[in-house]
Structures are given as C-alpha cells and as structure tokens.
Structure 1
Amino acid sequence: MLGFQKRGLNTLRLLLSLLLPAAWQAGSGQLRYSVPEEAKHGTFVGRIAQDLGLELAELVPRLFRVELCGRSAECSIHLEVIVDRPLRVFHVEVEVNDINDNPPVFSLKEQRLLIAESKQLDSHFPLEGASDADIEANAVLTYRLSQNEYFSLESPVSSRPTKRLSLILKKPLDREKTPEFKMLLTATDGGKPELTGTVQLFVQVLDVNDNDPEFDQLEYQVKLVENAVKETLVIKLNATDRDEGINGEVTYSLKSVKPGGRHFFTLDESNGEVRVNGTLDYEENNFYEIEVQATDKGNPPMAGHCTVWVEILDINDNSPEVTVTSLSLPVREDTQPGTVIAVISVSDLDSGVNGQVTCSLTSTVPFKIVSTFKNYYSLVLDSHLDRESISNYDLVVTARDGGLPSLWASATVSVEVADVNDNAPAFAQPEYTVFVKENNPPGSHIFTVCARDADAQENALVSYSLVERRVGERALSSYVSVHAESGKVFALQPLDREELELLQFQVSARDSGVPALGSNVTLQVFVLDENDNAPALLAPWTPGTMASVSELVSRSVGAGHVVTKVRAVDADCGYNAWLSYELQASAGVARSPFHVGLYTGEISTTRALDESDEPRQRLLVLVKDHGEPARTATATFLVLLVESGQTPKSSLRSPAEGTSLEVTLVDINVYLIIAICAVSSLFVLTLLLYMALRCSAIHTEDTCGPGKPRLVCSSAVGTWSYSKQRPQRVCSGEGPPKMDLMAFSPSLPPDLDKDEREKQDPGSNHPGQVIFNHVNT
C-alpha cells in the first residue's frame, strides 16, 4: 500500500487497533496521530507520505519503509490494558518475528581486479561482499563462484567476522595465454525460501617480466691443472632471455664458489667469461663448484642459474709427511724383541703415484719398521738393548714418494732406553790392603770403599754394610764399622798389633733396585807397630821383679871368656823390637873386666882376671829397643870371682840380702850339662815346632786364598829370641794361636875382633842375616 515492509505494517495495524484514539501533530519532523479506542480493524490512521510532504513517485526509488524494530534481533511491544469497575491494569508484551523478505544485495553491479601474472599460488585478493536487511538465519549469506580452473573462493566465517571474502589463485597465470577472466559471484541467504544476489567479476592479468634467462646447460664440467697462471680462461658462459627489450638484456654474476674459493675466480658480467684469479692448489681443494647467475633488466628482474664444476688436476708439488704417534717411551732395556715402540703414519697430499709413499729407517740400529696398513707402519724392537752401552737412539724415519722427480721427508725419533737393575755394584779391585797404626783413636777413619754401579737412578744408588763374622771371640762389628752411604770405614776402638796383626773382613755393596744386586770386597787391615812395649827379660829373671842373678867365674879365665848371656824379648816389631845391650859402669870401678855384646847380650871378660879385682862384681845391663822414643829394661848380674881349683857352693839367696853364694865346682858342671841338654832339646823342639807351623801355614794359605801379604818383624842381629811371649791373633782370627819364631844367623867374618864386631851396625855388617817370621794367615 505505501511500500511498508510486511513486518512493520502488520505490527502497526495491531498497534493502531489497540491504542486509544489520539491526536497526532506534525512538527519538527514528527507525526502524531490519535486513534480512538477500540478502533476496528482497518481503521484509517493517517496519510504518512502526505503528512511528510513526500511525492508518491519518490517512495519506491527512495526505499520508503517503516521500521518498527530496525536491525534488532528481538522486536516486542509492551501494552497496558486498563478496565474499570473495579480498576485493573494488565501488562501485555507482543513479540514480532522476522520473515525472509529481503534478498542479498551487492553494493556494486560489477567488481574489477588487476592481478599480475607473476602472482604466486594461493595468493588472496579481497572482494566486496553482499548485505541482507533481514536478521539471524535470514541474513546468513553463502557465496559461490562460477566454474573456472584458476580461482577459488574463500568465504567469511561467522565465528571470525573480521575475515573478508577473498579470491584465491589456484593455478599460475600466464598473460600470454589468458589475458582476462570473467566470473559470476552469487550470494545466497539462509531464509526459507532462499533469496540470492549476484555480481559480475572481471580479472585482468597484468604482464610482468616472467621469463628467466636460460643457459645452454645447467651444468658445465671443466678440468684445470693446479698452479695455473692468473687470467687463465676457465669457461665462457652464455645465457638467453625470451623476453624482449630491456627484459631480455642479461648480466652475469658469481653467486658462490664452494668450498670458499670465490677469490680464486673472476667472472666478466657482460660476456660470461670465468678466469683464474689466484693460485689453485690440488692439495687444498681438488674440486670447485661455481654457481653463476644470469639476471635480466626487467622490473622485477628475473634470473637464471647454472653450475660450473672445476676439477683440479694434481702435479707432484708436495713432499711426504711423517707422523710418529703412540710412543711407548722410554723403552726398558729388558724389552723383548718384537715389541712395538711407536706407530708411524706417512701421507702425501698429492694423488696417484705422486702420493704413493715408501718408508725406511736408519740402518745399524736395533729397531726396524714393519708395514701394518696402507701408509701405516710400526716401529718394532729388533734386538736386545743394553742401556749401559747405548742409552739413547736417534732414529731417522725417511718417507719418499713415487713422483718424478721424487720428493722426500724425514722425522727423527729419540728413543730413550730405560734402566733395569741388571748390574751389581762393582769395586775397582777385589781386595784392598790397608795399613793402620796401632793405638789409633776410637772412631778414626781408616779407609773408604767405593763401588760403581753401571745402572741409573735407584738402581745405581749404592749402600754399604759389613759382612758380619766372628774375629776370635768377638764380633767383627766391635772392631770396625762402615758408613752406609759414603763407604767410609771406621775403627771403633784402638787396635793393638800385639793382639791383632791382621784384620781381614768383607764389605758388601748393594744397590736399591728391585731385586737388589750386590757384591763384596775384601779389606786386609794390617796393624802397624808402635813402640808401646818395653823389652822383657827372659828367665832366669822373673817379670816384674828386680832380683839379681849370680854367676861364678874363676880368676884363671882369660880375655873373651863368656860368663853369661842376657836374654830379652820385645813384643813390638821391627826396629821397635831390635834390642841392644849396654853395660852400665859401676861406681868406684875404673875399668870393669867385663863387657856385654851390643846385640848379642853375651857378658864376657875383656882381660885376664887378677888378684886386684874385687871378688864380687855387680853388673848392671841396660836393654834398649830402637823405637822412638826408645824403651828400656835392666838386668842385674852378681859375678863371684873364685880361685882356680876351688869348689865353692852356690847359694840361691840373693846378694841383696847380704849373704854370699857358695857354689861348688861340681854344681857348676852339673848346671852346665843341664844347660847344654836344655839348649839341645830346645833346638830340636824348635825345629819340630817350625815344621808343624809351616804345614799349618800352608793349610791356612789354602783356606784364606793365595798371595796373602805377611808381616816380617826384625830383631837383634846375631841373637835368637821370641818376637812375642803371648799368642798373636792374625788374619781371620780363627784357629789356635801361634808363636812367631825368628832365627838369625850372623855369618860374620871370623877375623874380626869380637868387640869390634859387636859394635858394627847389624844391618850393614851382617849380610848373612836370615829372618824367619811365621804369621798365622
């Protein structure tokens, strides 16, 4: 009737039929109508268009409509119904439901799109969607696109109101084939029945620089000798572009040179020539991958690519290399032959025969090289080692390649030989002879032993010790000691030659190796004599007493008659035991008729006795050795002069007691006979004893070893005596003690006067002297 929308008109009618009549006034763009109450259906309310001053012909083009609720999803009217008698008020709500009475409408009759042919697939192009005046399901729109193979449609989703309607490219465009597309876009609402709206789509394909430059080949292979000179041509490349004009003009550039060799090559950007720019080395890189790009001058520019494979040919310009690894150093000298000492690897950066390497070792060494694998060798011990002979080897390993000319290199391996304890300490000689004066201070240093060990470090660290044994009744360690580190030998107590002439013992030297090795050396310590013993008188004198000995002499004896003999012995040796005798002058006696032999000790008359001589002659004999200082002893004789033919009796009483001795001639003869027999027996006994001692000495020499030195003591010339009165302990100190016996034979010329002979030096005037000295060895 007035173009009202159906929903608004029906609602208006219902409202007008219920409202009380009211007056509507026009003013300020508003209309007011009054409708009587209980107006009937179809009651005239008012002419809206006329009241608003609108022409009927303008209503439809201007989309004249009456909206009761607009775009609201809910539309309802609230009414109050009032009745009187009694007065009651009723509230009434009237809901107005939408119907699908509006189709989808596009704002434009057609949409035009400009798309470059270079657009990528799945590219999105936004479209203007349609609108629907209805609400809810009646306003839900779906879109579809007319059938084509290049484009698809992406519709908005109600859950994502910001997502727009878009056209999606599904197939690459080519303007040269299809420059334009026409498609129909249809929008359909969700009402019942459906209402639709359409719009025409025009897609114009824009021409772009869509042809890449193309090379003759995708890959090129080139061979180039290493060390090629600079500016050597590698290859000339050519690329073409199907485009015309500026889009077909091509320039060249290096994209990459692998591995890392861009500075080795240059590329002319206009003509595509690749040239050598640096020194190529096969050993550094034997292959290069050069990627070249050809680019046209279109907008946007297009590019084509190719790869140049450059193979570098080898020449023999590298010497072999030798590497020694896994060294097992130092090498013990007891290492068995065949043991691997080191691993040797050789290499040559060249190829082919230029890289084939042979390995050799210095000759005349106890090592050899064994090939274990290609370019790998083992350094093997070939024979036994002796560190004491050679402690270090400098081995030269030489590697030579097969090129022409051949190149070589060498490496030096220093092999140190480690010591093992295979050498015992050694002394310079098997035994040493040491001379020590007796009466030495306790703890005095008497000798130093030294042993050398050919080994090294701990194996050569030597310590010394005594080989303990017994010396007689005492331990060896009570006499001497040895310092463990220095080897100094000390005498722990004063030595006494009269007790011990020779001390023989062993010192042991041992190293600190595991196990320890050792050796012994023998020390023979001879105790040198000092003049520490005075002469001792033999019987009939009693040691420690000053008693005199009496002798009877007939006055009828002549000059040279031997009255008696002084016997003395000195426990010392040599000059210290060489005794001389002097007769001390008696007080008041002008010239004594007696004389004592200087070295024999015989007391004899110097003249014939006469009546004027005193019947009692007291003779004092001084016995003196030749030591420094000299030591002495005195012997007193009482000589009784008797008349010829008188047979006096001897008395055993000492003249010191003031009694006279009476000795009969018969007694004297008896004494002489007894003395002669005793002397004879003593001589025979001496010979037997000497033979026994010689046999014992031979046996002892066999036990102690050959060539043992002996001490020989000298004594007074022309006399015989014992060199000692007590046992002497020598050598090992074992076995029974022996008596040293010395016998002398003067062998003097018979024509010399006895007194003169006694005054001569025994050393120069007694060439026939024979000395026997038996030492227990």
Structure 2
Amino acid sequence: MLVYRPSGLKASCLLLSFLLLTAWETGSCQVHYSVPEEAKHGTFVGRIAQDLGLELAELVPRLFRMASKGSGDLLEVNLQNGILFVNSRIDREELCGRSLECSIHLEVIVERPLQVFHVEVEVKDINDNPPVFSVSEQKLSIPESRLLDSRFPLEGASDADVGENAMLTYRLSSNEFFILDIINKKDKGKFPVLVLRKLLDREENPQLQLLLTATDGGTPELTGSVSLLILVLDANDNAPVFDRSVYEIKIYENSANQTLIIRLNASDADEEINKEMIYSFSSLVSPSIRKKFLMNERTGEIRVNDVIDFEDSNTYEIHVDVTDKGYPPMVGHCTVLVEILDENDNSPEVAITSLSLPVREDAQVGTVIASISVSDRDSGANGQVTCSLTPHVPFKLLSTFKNYYSLVVDSALDRESVANYGLVVTVRDGGSPSLSATASVSVEVADVNDNAPVFAQPEYTVFVKENNPPGCHIFTVSARDADAQENALVSYSLVERRVGERALSSYVSVHAESGKVYALQPLDHEELELLQFQVSARDAGVPSLGSNVTLQVFVLDENDNAPALLPPGSGGGGGAVSQPVARSVGAGHVVAKVRAVDADSGYNAWLSYELRPESGGLRSPFRVGLYTGEISTTRALDEADAPRQRLLVLVKDHGEPALASTATVLLSLVDSGQAPKTPSQMSILSTGPEAALVDVNVYLIIAICAVSSLLVLTLLLYTALRCSAPPIERACGPLKPTLVCSSAVGSWSCSQQRRQRCALGRARPRPTSWPSAPAFHHVLYQRWKWKNNLLEGTTLGSHDSPILTGVTLPP
C-alpha cells in the first residue's frame, strides 16, 4: 500500500503494492491496485500487462485499450512497457465524496481473440482537507440567569477526508466560565457542547469572545477554528427543554408530501408569555434540508415537503430550536436524525459492450462474443441482480467480475440450420416486487465451407441421336451447395479419362458456371453406343469441397448407312454376279443368293430384297425372296427364255427414310449336262419345293422360340445387374462382326466390325442377331419408332436406364 503525503507538507511517498486476484476461465480476471489521491502525473501504479499475463509485443497488434466508467482519463497505460500510471489529478473527495471505500474500476479489452479484464484501483485517502466550520463566527445568546451546568450545543466542523483523517477533536480557548464537552452521536462523529461552569453576570461581562478549534486525526494534523461570540442576556431565566436531545426516525423513500415524520414536544418552567414557544429549524440546517422538510412552528410537527430519494441521501440530520416568548427569549435545542429506508424503485440497467460479431459457425465452445455489465441503484436485496439468457440457444452467460458477464458459445453452431440468433438478456433484482430490464443482441453466424455441392441424383441417363451438330447442348447438370456466398459458388468440370485411344474432352465439354454439357463433335452410334463419364462440381470455398455425378450418354441410331453388298459381288451398288443355271430346273429352285449387310442397328439394319421391274421383263422366270435375298425360279425354264438373264436386285433397309443399294445378277441358262453342281446346289436341288416349305416352317418356329427365350433371358440379366453390387466399369474394345446368313424366313444382318461400341459402362447382354419373321419385325419396328420418338430429348434417372443394343427395346 502506498501512503502519499502532500508536497506542501514536505512529505514523501512510501511503498506501492498490488494484489493479483483470480484469473477466470473466460479470459477475464481481476487485478487490484492502490494509489494515494493527489499523486503526481506519471506515478507508478502497477505492471498491468505483466499482471494480466499479456506480452508487451502484442498490446498494439491486439488493440489493447482501457475504459473507465465515469472516471475519465485519471489513469493511463504505457503501451511500450505495460505500466499503469497516474495520468491526471485524482481527488478522492471529488470522486467518491464521503464514502469510506473509493475505487476506480477499469475495463481492459484486448482483441484477436477478444479478452476482457477487470482492474480495480483503490484510491487511498490522504489528509489534504482541514476541518472547516460553516461560519467564521457563532453567536450564542445566554441569559445571565442560566444555571450552572447549562449546556449550549455548538455547530461542529466538517472534514472532507475519511477515516482517521476525518476524526475530529475539539478544544476551547482558556476561560473561566465555560468548558467544552463532546457528544458522540451514533455514526455521526463528535459534536461540541458548551457547559456553563460559572454563573454569568451581564453587568460584569456583557459578552465573551472564545475560540473553538477542531483538529483532525491525520498525520500531520490539520486544524480549523471558529470564533464564539457569547452575548449575556438578562431576564427570562428558564429555557424550553425537549424531552430528548436526539430523536431517531426511520421513513421509507418516496413518502408522499405532508407525511408526518415526528411531533416534537418541549416544555418551559416559566409562566405566561415566557412559557409560549415557537419551533423552528436551527440556523445550522442547510437549505437542502429546509427544502425536503417542513416545520410547523406552533405544534412542532415535521412533515415531508419534497421527494425523498434513498439514492440521493440515506440520512438527514435536522437541528431544531424551540424559543419561548419571554424577554429575553430563551432557546432549547434538539437533533432529529432521519434515516431513509430503501424501496425497490429502480429497475436494473444492462449494457452490452465489446461485441465480436459475426461469430463463425466453427467457433469453439467458450468463445467470447460480448461483454455485458449490469447495475442497480438500489441497495441490499433491491440492488442484487441476477442475469439470464433466452432459453434454448447455443450460448450462455458466464460471470467474470461482480456485475460483469461474458456471453460465450455453449454448443456447436450450424449456419445452415440457424443463420441468426436473436438473444434477449434479462436482468432481475431481488426486490419485492422484483423489477427487471432486458437487452437484445442479434448474433449473426458467419459461414464456413463445411458443405460440399450435392447433385439431385448420383447418376443421369441421357439419350442423344447420332450425327448431332458439333457443340450441341445435350444435358445440364446442377448441384446445390448449402453454404453461402463464395462457399456456395459452384463450378463444373469434366473428370478427365480416356475413351479408347482418345481423351474424354475431345467428345464432350461442360460449362464451368452453368453446368451445361455440350457434344464437341458429331457422335456415331456405330463407333460409340454408350459414353459414360463423370462431371465434378466444386465450390469456391477454402479449402474447396466437391462431388461427382455420373452421366450415361446413349447414342441413338439413325439410318445413315445404306446396305452394303457382300462378295461375290462388287460390294457396291452396281456390280454383276454371274451364275450358271440348268434349263431343266423346276419352279422354286434357288439359283443364286444376294448377301448384304447394314452398318446401322435395329430396324435401320433390317433388309428386304426385291427385283426391279426392268429385270427380265414381265415374263421373267425368276423372283427374289423378300427377306432372304434368294433368287429362285417361278416356273420351269423353256427354250424361249434368253440364254443370259440380267437381274437387278434392290436391297433396301427399313429406316426412315429408307436407304437402298442395287445388285446386278447375271444368270446363264445352260443344258443340264453342262451345268456344274456345287455341293450347295446339289443340296438345294435334292430338297425340292416341298422340303423348302417344310424348312421355312421349322425355321419360323425356331426363330420365334429363340426370340422369346432371348427376351426372357435379357430381362433376367437386366434385373440381376440392377440388384447386384456396384457397377463394374470396363472399356469395351472392338467387337467381332456377326453375320447371319440367309434362311427361308429372312435375315437380320449386322454391320462390319464396330469400334468402341461402348465406353466405361456396365456389362450388358446384347443380342447379336434377331430372327426376322415379318409380322414380328413389324410389331418391333412400330414399338421402336414409338419409344425412340418418346425418348428423344429426354433423360432418365439411374434406375430408369434401358438395356440398349443399338436401339431401345420396346416394353
């Protein structure tokens, strides 16, 4: 503790000490220092940075600052060395009045992260105020007839200091008539009283001049004095007397005007007019007390005359005189001590400072958001406050020092669930009835990148017709990010991979902002039936988060390939096939066969054959099988038939529009002995028309059964693949060509070897040939056209993908 002596008295300063109190877990703590009043500018108070556990180098970067409620700039901190020093004159009496305890409360705030510390600096009193009397001279009128031991109260001195520095003692100048007596009043100090020790004689001494000196208990002692002028009066020799010299009264604050406080009672031993009395306030009563209370001079009643507020003053001392009407008048004295009782008439006050907003959603439990201070001007239970927070919020209040609280995070935050909290801090006192106050805090939760973009489906199926224009839009992917601002800004990109010998980016691209997927080049169903790839969506947060979606792009076949003829023949549209035919063959004899394939799929590859009208004229003895391409005789040949027959066979597919090729077949009619017989011709000749018809029926039944079995098998495999484990990715390499030769009922011809029929897809059963009964193919064709038109420009989810082999199977 530092004891300070004023320089005017040539005193010196002693030792300064400080008390470091408990550090609180929220980052705030209490430190206690003491400093004498009137200390000079720059006086050392304490090493505040060291005592608060702060590094000197971080004071400026962390925005170290200090606030003092109602105390101005009395104290300051040197940010270079962290020392708290006196910045301006501290007058304890001006700061705290006559309160025994006087402290300056400092709130120290540092940020990054936010920490709040509380420092209390006790201001020690020094004896810098001498005792003071309210007047320079006190006049007392004392009749000469007053008896020995008569007592005459005097106005005491006051000392602005406290404690020992305000403990006053009195002494009276030497005289033969009066001695000084001291009255100790409860909690009110000492008051001087003159006691008559020798009878007065007005004729000898009409007046006396005495000196009353007051000395305080400080070191060194300070004194004050007042002159006492005693006028010796003659006549009325009995003064009025109160039944008590001191009255103690208790009343509640806010008592209504005209409320009776006390009715005083005095008596006078004289008779007649000397017995009549008048009550009045003493000249010692201050104007403020005269404003608060009203005296009835006839009855001695004291009543309330103004607002009585405990918070302004909790006690009043009223000096009352009673004077008789004798000549000379005689006066009696008493003191009325009025104690004011507190009522709960002040609501608590709450102030929210040092807000650290917004708070990140990943803030740790215990993070300080704001500092809250509460107060109540009432006393006792009426001034004791409790602080509470709106229930069901992830925050709590933590008491840090007396009526100071910190608002801290109590549980995990999630901006995607709640982005803003409206908190209500309620402060309630302990009075009856209780009074309360509220303050609102809006806590905004700042976003962090904790959510990756999410697609609506893990997989999309897209159908695109081949021969699309370059750069056409085929699909749009869209992902949603639950975060905000740049954390929710999604960009799209391809997950690059190889498709056969080429990069995926040579086939498709995706717009980074819109998610639109474009085909960079015309797609060819004959090269690529299925293109499966992934699109990645990533946000702009740090660190960036992302997810992928799978696109299955099925390339639908169009009729863009004309039928191609197979050897023997030119393979083009106009070659010639020469075949000898014996004139002895009968009707229905197969003399040749035209073979052709179509690179397309489905109905676009279903071929039919017909003779051109110009082939052999109207009496031509030959015909061609509609679906087999077999050229057979319609009648027995005769001598009238030309020895060389030139037939034009039109091969046409079933696409829309249909594409066609023309084959030229040259037949040479020879005699039976001249026609060479191949093994196949021998077989055909041995069967005859009836055997061929039987073969047609057998083949038709076998074809129908095969197609039905194949459909059932396809459905079973499709169901098994959908219910199986995650898809096995594979790249389909070149497929071997499948060639179905002619039969009695027709053919379903596939194209030459196809390259890269599918890329990175599931293994799917795909038939390589279809029997082609006319009625069956007609139904399939109609369904295919319906389904193909229905699916054009549409997409399916991952569970809606059909099994495709060039075309979509009808239901």
TM-score by length of 1: 0.55
Match for residue 604 of structure 1?
632
- In the TM superposition, what is the alpha-carbon distance from 1:475 to its structure 2 partner? 2.5
Match for residue 226 of structure 1?
253
Match for residue 555 of structure 1?
583
- In the TM superposition, what is the alpha-carbon distance from 1:347 to its structure 2 partner? 4.0
3-state DSSP of counterpart to 1:231? coil
Paired with 1:772 and 1:567, the residues of 2 have a C-alpha distance of 27
| Partner residue of 1:585 out of 585, 606, 613 | 613
Residue deviations 1:650-691 (CA, integer Å, cap 9, x gap): xxxxxxxxxxxxxxx15x349989xxxxxxxxxxxxxxxxxx
- In the TM superposition, what is the alpha-carbon distance from 1:522 to its structure 2 partner? 1.4
Paired with 1:254 and 1:484, the residues of 2 have a C-alpha distance of 94
Amino acid at match of 2:473: H
Match for residue 626 of structure 1?
654
Amino acid at match of 1:464: Y
Paired with 2:308 and 2:279, the residues of 1 have a C-alpha distance of 30
Assess, with a 3 A threshold, how the Cα gap between structure 1 residues 704 and 228 changes in structure 2: closer, same or farther.
closer
| Partner residue of 1:314 out of 330, 339, 342 | 342
2:743 is aligned with 1:743 = no
- In the TM superposition, what is the alpha-carbon distance from 1:461 to its structure 2 partner? 1.2
| Partner residue of 2:474 out of 442, 446, 449 | 446
Match for residue 505 of structure 2?
477
Residue deviations 1:359-408 (CA, integer Å, cap 9, x gap): 44454443344444444444443332332233334445444444444455
Identical columns (%)? 64
Assess, with a 3 A threshold, how the Cα gap between structure 1 residues 176 and 462 changes in structure 2: closer, same or farther.
farther
Contact 2:452 2:539 in 1 (8 A): yes
Amino acid at match of 1:416: E
3-state DSSP of counterpart to 1:620? strand
Written as runs of structure 1 = structure 2, the 5 A alignment for 1:200-349 is 222-234=249-261, 265-266=293-294, 274-282=302-310, 284-287=311-314, 310-349=338-377
Assess, with a 3 A threshold, how the Cα gap between structure 1 residues 407 and 389 changes in structure 2: closer, same or farther.
same
Residue deviations 1:707-756 (CA, integer Å, cap 9, x gap): 99999x99998414223444244214999xx999722235x6xxxxxxxx
Paired with 1:509 and 1:523, the residues of 2 have a C-alpha distance of 13
Match for residue 705 of structure 1?
727
Written as runs of structure 1 = structure 2, the 5 A alignment for 1:59-74 is none
Contact 1:252 1:272 in 2 (8 A): no
Contact 2:351 2:372 in 1 (8 A): yes
Paired with 1:588 and 1:478, the residues of 2 have a C-alpha distance of 53
Assess, with a 3 A threshold, how the Cα gap between structure 1 residues 270 and 442 changes in structure 2: closer, same or farther.
farther
3-state DSSP of counterpart to 1:275? strand
Amino acid at match of 2:499: V
Match for residue 762 of structure 1?
777
Residue deviations 1:112-160 (CA, integer Å, cap 9, x gap): xxxxxx9999xxxxxxxxxxxxxxxxxxxxxxxxxxxxxxxxxxxxxxx
Residue deviations 1:474-513 (CA, integer Å, cap 9, x gap): 3322222212111111222222222322222221111111
- Unaligned runs of at least 5 residues, structure 2: 1-134, 139-200, 208-228, 234-238, 268-272, 326-330, 684-713, 785-802
Match for residue 388 of structure 1?
416
Match for residue 535 of structure 2?
507
Task: Identify the range of structure 1 (404-413 vs 304-313) with the bigger mean alpha-carbon deviation.
Answer: 304-313
Amino acid at match of 2:771: S
Contact 1:425 1:453 in 2 (8 A): yes
Residue deviations 1:544-571 (CA, integer Å, cap 9, x gap): 4622111222233233322222222222
- In the TM superposition, what is the alpha-carbon distance from 1:425 to its structure 2 partner? 0.8
3-state DSSP of counterpart to 2:758? coil
Contact 1:742 1:772 in 2 (8 A): no
3-state DSSP of counterpart to 1:762? helix
Contact 1:724 1:739 in 2 (8 A): no
Paired with 1:119 and 1:385, the residues of 2 have a C-alpha distance of 72
Match for residue 15 of structure 2?
none
Task: Identify the range of structure 1 (231-240 vs 401-410) with the bigger mean alpha-carbon deviation.
Answer: 231-240
Paired with 2:658 and 2:285, the residues of 1 have a C-alpha distance of 118
2:356 is aligned with 1:356 = no
Structure with bigger gyration radius = 1
Match for residue 197 of structure 1?
none
Match for residue 146 of structure 1?
none
Written as runs of structure 1 = structure 2, the 5 A alignment for 1:43-82 is none
Assess, with a 3 A threshold, how the Cα gap between structure 1 residues 330 and 356 changes in structure 2: closer, same or farther.
same
Contact 1:428 1:451 in 2 (8 A): yes
Match for residue 498 of structure 1?
526
- In the TM superposition, what is the alpha-carbon distance from 1:439 to its structure 2 partner? 2.1
Assess, with a 3 A threshold, how the Cα gap between structure 1 residues 709 and 395 changes in structure 2: closer, same or farther.
farther
Assess, with a 3 A threshold, how the Cα gap between structure 1 residues 422 and 721 changes in structure 2: closer, same or farther.
same
Match for residue 641 of structure 2?
613
3-state DSSP of counterpart to 1:458? helix
Amino acid at match of 1:419: D
Amino acid at match of 1:744: W
Amino acid at match of 2:260: L
Paired with 1:304 and 1:470, the residues of 2 have a C-alpha distance of 119
Assess, with a 3 A threshold, how the Cα gap between structure 1 residues 670 and 626 changes in structure 2: closer, same or farther.
closer
3-state DSSP of counterpart to 2:579? strand
Paired with 2:333 and 2:757, the residues of 1 have a C-alpha distance of 117
Amino acid at match of 1:514: V
2:516 is aligned with 1:488 = yes
Assess, with a 3 A threshold, how the Cα gap between structure 1 residues 766 and 120 changes in structure 2: closer, same or farther.
closer
Contact 2:615 2:648 in 1 (8 A): no
Paired with 2:566 and 2:333, the residues of 1 have a C-alpha distance of 138
- In the TM superposition, what is the alpha-carbon distance from 1:465 to its structure 2 partner? 1.4
Residue deviations 1:541-600 (CA, integer Å, cap 9, x gap): 334462211122223323332222222222222332222222111267113322222222
| Partner residue of 2:554 out of 514, 526, 529 | 526
Paired with 1:388 and 1:421, the residues of 2 have a C-alpha distance of 11
Contact 1:347 1:375 in 2 (8 A): yes
Paired with 2:750 and 2:654, the residues of 1 have a C-alpha distance of 17
- In the TM superposition, what is the alpha-carbon distance from 1:621 to its structure 2 partner? 1.4
- In the TM superposition, what is the alpha-carbon distance from 1:218 to its structure 2 partner? 11
Contact 1:331 1:341 in 2 (8 A): yes
Amino acid at match of 1:598: L
- In the TM superposition, what is the alpha-carbon distance from 1:446 to its structure 2 partner? 1.3
Paired with 2:241 and 2:569, the residues of 1 have a C-alpha distance of 147
Contact 1:583 1:621 in 2 (8 A): yes
Contact 1:348 1:357 in 2 (8 A): yes
Paired with 2:472 and 2:321, the residues of 1 have a C-alpha distance of 107
Amino acid at match of 2:768: M
Residue deviations 1:431-485 (CA, integer Å, cap 9, x gap): 2111122222222211111111122222111111122223233332222221211
| Partner residue of 1:464 out of 492, 505, 508 | 492
Amino acid at match of 1:564: A
Paired with 2:450 and 2:421, the residues of 1 have a C-alpha distance of 20
Contact 1:323 1:346 in 2 (8 A): yes
3-state DSSP of counterpart to 2:759? coil
Paired with 2:766 and 2:567, the residues of 1 have a C-alpha distance of 19
Contact 1:550 1:638 in 2 (8 A): yes
Amino acid at match of 2:477: V
Paired with 1:739 and 1:642, the residues of 2 have a C-alpha distance of 50
